[in-house]
Chains A and B, each alone.
Chain A
Amino acid sequence: MNALEVRGLTKEYPGFRLDGLDLTLPEGCILGLIGENGAGKSTTIKLMLGMLTRDDGTVIVCGQDPAAAPAALREDVGVVMDEAGIPASLTVKQVGKVMRDVFRQWEQETFDQLVQRFGLPEKKPFGEFSKGMKMKLGIAIALSHGARLLLLDEPTGGLDPVAREQVVELLHEFTRNPSHAVLISSHIVSDLEKLCDYIAFLRKGKLVLWEEKDVLLERYGLAHCTEAQFRQLPQNCICQHKRTPYGVELLVYRAQVPAGLPVSPVTIEELFVFMAKEAAE
Chain B
Amino acid sequence: MKGLLRKDFYMACKYCRAYLFIVVVFLMVSLFGDDNAFMVFYPCLLAGMVPVNLLAYDENSKWHIYSGTLPCTRGQLVSVKYLMGVITQVTVLVLTGIVQAVRMCMADPHIRGGFDLTEWAVTMGVLVIMSAVSSSVSMPFMFRYGVEKGRIAYYVMIGVACAGMMMIGTMGNILPGSALFSVPAEWMVAVGVVLAIGIYALSWYLSIVFYNKRELN
Residues of A whose CB lies within 8 Å of any CB of B are 46, 49, 51-53, 70-75, 77, 79, 81, 83-90, 94, 97-104, 127, 151
Q: A89-B14, A98-B6 are in contact. Are A49 and B61 (CB under 8 A)?
A: no
Tell me the minimal C-beta distance from B126 to chain A in angstroms.
34
Contact, CB under 8 Å: B71 / A85: no
Partner of A101, one of B3, B58, B215, B217: B3
Taken together as a complex, chains A and B put the C-alpha atoms of A231 and B68 apart, in Å, by: 55
The interface residues of chain A lying within 8 Å CB-to-CB of B76 are 71
- In the complex, the chain B residue whose C-beta lies closest to that of A97 is B6
A-B pair number, CB within 8 angstroms: 89
**B69 at the A interface (CB under 8 A):** yes
Contact, CB under 8 Å: B10 / A102: no
Taken together as a complex, chains A and B put the C-alpha atoms of A27 and B153 apart, in Å, by: 48
Taken together as a complex, chains A and B put the C-alpha atoms of A85 and B7 apart, in Å, by: 13
Q: A86-B63, A94-B10, A98-B6 are in contact. Are A104 and B215 (CB under 8 A)?
A: no
- In the complex, the chain B residue whose C-beta lies closest to that of A70 is B73
Q: A46-B216, A46-B217, A52-B216 are in contact. Are A87 and B7 (CB under 8 A)?
A: yes
Contact, CB under 8 Å: A102 / B15: no
The interface residues of chain B lying within 8 Å CB-to-CB of A104 are 71
Contact, CB under 8 Å: B10 / A86: no
Q: A46-B217, A53-B215, A97-B6 are in contact. Are A84 and B66 (CB under 8 A)?
A: yes
**B11 at the A interface (CB under 8 A):** yes
Contact, CB under 8 Å: A89 / B71: no
The interface residues of chain A lying within 8 Å CB-to-CB of B11 are 87, 89-90
User: Can you show 27 pairs from A to B with CB atoms below 8 A apart?
Assistant: A46-B217, A49-B69, A51-B68, A51-B69, A51-B216, A52-B216, A52-B217, A70-B73, A71-B71, A74-B69, A79-B66, A81-B66, A84-B62, A85-B61, A85-B66, A87-B10, A87-B57, A88-B61, A89-B14, A89-B57, A90-B11, A94-B7, A94-B10, A99-B3, A101-B2, A101-B3, A102-B70
- In the complex, the chain A residue whose C-beta lies closest to that of B77 is A71
Q: A51-B65, A81-B65, A81-B66 are in contact. Are A90 and B71 (CB under 8 A)?
A: no
Tell me the minimal C-beta distance from A88 to chain B in angstroms.
5
Contact, CB under 8 Å: A90 / B7: yes
Q: A46-B216, A98-B7 are in contact. Are A86 and B68 (CB under 8 A)?
A: no
The interface residues of chain A lying within 8 Å CB-to-CB of B62 are 81, 83-85
Taken together as a complex, chains A and B put the C-alpha atoms of A80 and B15 apart, in Å, by: 26
Main secondary structure on chain B at its contact with chain A?
helix
The interface residues of chain A lying within 8 Å CB-to-CB of B216 are 46, 51-52
The interface residues of chain B lying within 8 Å CB-to-CB of A99 are 3
The interface residues of chain A lying within 8 Å CB-to-CB of B206 are none
The residue among B4, B11, B61 with the most chain A CB atoms within 10 A of its own CB is B61
Q: A89-B14, A94-B10 are in contact. Are A75 and B71 (CB under 8 A)?
A: yes
Taken together as a complex, chains A and B put the C-alpha atoms of A89 and B15 apart, in Å, by: 8
**B67 at the A interface (CB under 8 A):** yes
Tell me the minimal C-beta distance from A258 to chain B in angstroms.
50
The interface residues of chain A lying within 8 Å CB-to-CB of B6 are 97-98, 101
Within 8 A of A (CB), among B1-25: 2-4, 6-7, 10-11, 14-15
Q: A51-B216, A101-B6 are in contact. Are A86 and B70 (CB under 8 A)?
A: no
Taken together as a complex, chains A and B put the C-alpha atoms of A94 and B65 apart, in Å, by: 19
Taken together as a complex, chains A and B put the C-alpha atoms of A33 and B41 apart, in Å, by: 55
Taken together as a complex, chains A and B put the C-alpha atoms of A46 and B67 apart, in Å, by: 12
Q: A51-B69, A83-B65, A86-B63 are in contact. Are A98 and B215 (CB under 8 A)?
A: no
Taken together as a complex, chains A and B put the C-alpha atoms of A98 and B11 apart, in Å, by: 12
The interface residues of chain A lying within 8 Å CB-to-CB of B68 are 46, 49, 51
Q: Mark B48-79, 1 if CB is under 8 A from A, else 0.
A: 00000000011011110111111111001000
Taken together as a complex, chains A and B put the C-alpha atoms of A21 and B20 apart, in Å, by: 52
Tell me the minimal C-beta distance from A10 to chain B in angstroms.
15
Taken together as a complex, chains A and B put the C-alpha atoms of A86 and B68 apart, in Å, by: 12
